[in-house]
Amino acid sequence: MTQTTTLNRQVQLAARPVGTPTAADFHLATTAVPVAGPGQLLLRTVYLSLDPYMRGRMSDAASYAASVAIGATMVGATVCRVQSSQHAGFAVGDWVLAYTGWQDYALSDGTGLTKLDPGLARPSYALGVLGMPGFTAYMGLLDIGAPKAGETVVVAAATGAVGSVVGQIAKLKGCRVVGIAGGADKCRSAVQELGFDACIDHHNPDLAALLAAACPKGIDVYFENVGGKVFDAVLPLLNTAARVPVCGLIAQYNATALPEGPDRSPLLMRTLLTKRIRMQGFIIFDDYGHRYPEFAKDMSQWLANGQIKFREDIVNGLENAPQAFIGLLEGKNFGKLIVRVAND
């Protein structure tokens, strides 16, 4: 089933997942394509970004952004073409970065849209290395992590949209970079394609020992994307005055209860105290929206120079978005996960 000009397919939230989301938590609905009124434009989705934070939107637990209501269309960033326009600022065929969610079409009054350069080689990069994930990697690493040349930086989800950029920027800054990823293929790619110094497979039961061996001088910056057993392996290796930007905790997003005891939060706090560690959560546009231009300038340059590489994992068809998203939470993607909603 492909995109048409007459129907608007929407992936709606059918039920709040208990633990791991399943196909039954999503519902593919079909409605009429809306019509742009005065001052409005109609957007046609070409690319939809799938990101771990969406798991939080499926839940009704309090978080930094509102939940998706049951029966509502799943939210998400998109790269769209303007399909029709009654808005003076946008013409038919314009590429825009939008937040129209898991659907084919959406109306807009132009608020929150970013026009994309029509000469962009890959418009989908606006959802990845030049968009939220890349910006997240850049600010989290450079502003909170503040790596210095010669320091050791560890990043989990090392071939993911954020982790792959974190590690490559850290290499540009002269650090030793150790990735953690799921599987031999991803680890090989992190070292051979992305230039990391080492990458450890978190499926290996000797994760803690392997990580320690890969970090002979300890860890100065740990960019936290995952939590869980990876963080457990990292914690004892953190150096005095280490920095831990907390960007994501994908290993615990599907959890339905806290892990069994003992309660290790006192151990975590003691480690922060005795090693003088800074641990800081951040939400990229809330904390750093005003610094987007410096990121865009640096990253465009690095991409143009071939200093940063970026891999996309593209899934075809909106109807495949739920399964792709479920796989994302299990680490099945290899690179930035994007749904190609329509050929263009």
Question: Binding string to its own copies for residues 92 to 121, with x set by CB under 8 A, is what?
Answer: ------------------------------
In the numeric block, the tokens 């978080």 are attached to 63
Q: HSE of 99 in the Cβ direction (CA atoms, 13 Å)?
A: 8
Contact call for residues 104 and 3 (beta carbons, < 8 A): yes
Q: Which two tokens stand for residue 271?
A: 């480690």
Q: Which is nearer to its own copies, 54 or 308 (CB)?
A: 54
Instruction: Give the interface size with its own copies as a residue count (CB under 8 A).
Output: 45
Tokens of 16: 């709040």
Among 258, 290, 306, 343, binds its own copies (CB under 8 A): 258
Going by C-alpha positions, the residue among 6, 87, 27 that lies closest to residue 322 is 27
Q: Which residue from 153, 210, 190 is spatially nearest to 309, judged by alpha carbons?
A: 190
Enumerate residues 138-167 that contact its own copies by CB under 8 A. Answer: none
Residue closer to its own copies, measured from CB, 287 or 319: 287
One of 104, 151, 197, 224 touching its own copies (CB under 8 A): 224
Q: According to the binding rule CB under 8 A, does residue 249 interact with its own copies?
A: yes
Judged by CB under 8 A, the chain residues 25 through 84 that form the site for its own copies are: 56, 62-64
Instruction: Check binding of 260 to its own copies (CB under 8 A).
Output: yes
231 part of the interface to its own copies, by CB under 8 A:
yes
Closest distance of CB 22 from its own copies, Å: 22
Helix H or strand E segment including 85: strand 78-85
Choose, by CB under 8 A, the member of 278, 285, 289, 330 that binds its own copies: 278
Of the candidate residues 38, 119, 205, 261, the single one contacting its own copies (CB under 8 A): 261
Token pair belonging to 185: 């293929």
| Stretch of 84-92, 151-159, 179-187, 239-247 contacting its own copies, by CB under 8 A | 239-247
Q: Is 277 in the site for its own copies (CB under 8 A)?
A: yes
What six digits make up the tokens of 28?
């593919």
Residue 212 touches its own copies, criterion: CB under 8 A: no
Report d(CA 51, CA 289) in Å as an integer: 19
Give the residue, chosen from 117, 193, 206, 263, that forms a contact with its own copies under the rule CB under 8 A.
Answer: 263
Residue with tokens 């750093």: 288
> Considering only residues 69, 91, 120, 255, which one is a binding residue for its own copies as defined by CB under 8 A?
255
Q: How far is the CB of 16 from its own copies (least distance, A)?
A: 17
Smallest gap from Cβ 56 to its own copies, in A, equals 8
Smallest distance from its own copies to CB 93, Å: 38
Round to whole Å and give the CA distance between 251 and 254. 7
Look up residue 254 and give its amino acid. N
DSSP letter for each residue of 169-228 = HHHHTT-EEEEEESSHHHHHHHHHTT--SEEEETTSTTHHHHHHHH-TT-EEEEEBS--H
Contact 156, 182 (CB under 8 A): no
Single residue of 203, 217, 229, 276 touching its own copies by CB under 8 A: 276
Nearest residue to 151 (alpha-carbon basis) of 166, 137, 171: 171
Catalog residues that contact its own copies under the rule CB under 8 A. 56, 62-64, 224, 227-228, 231, 240-241, 246-249, 252, 255, 257-283, 286-287
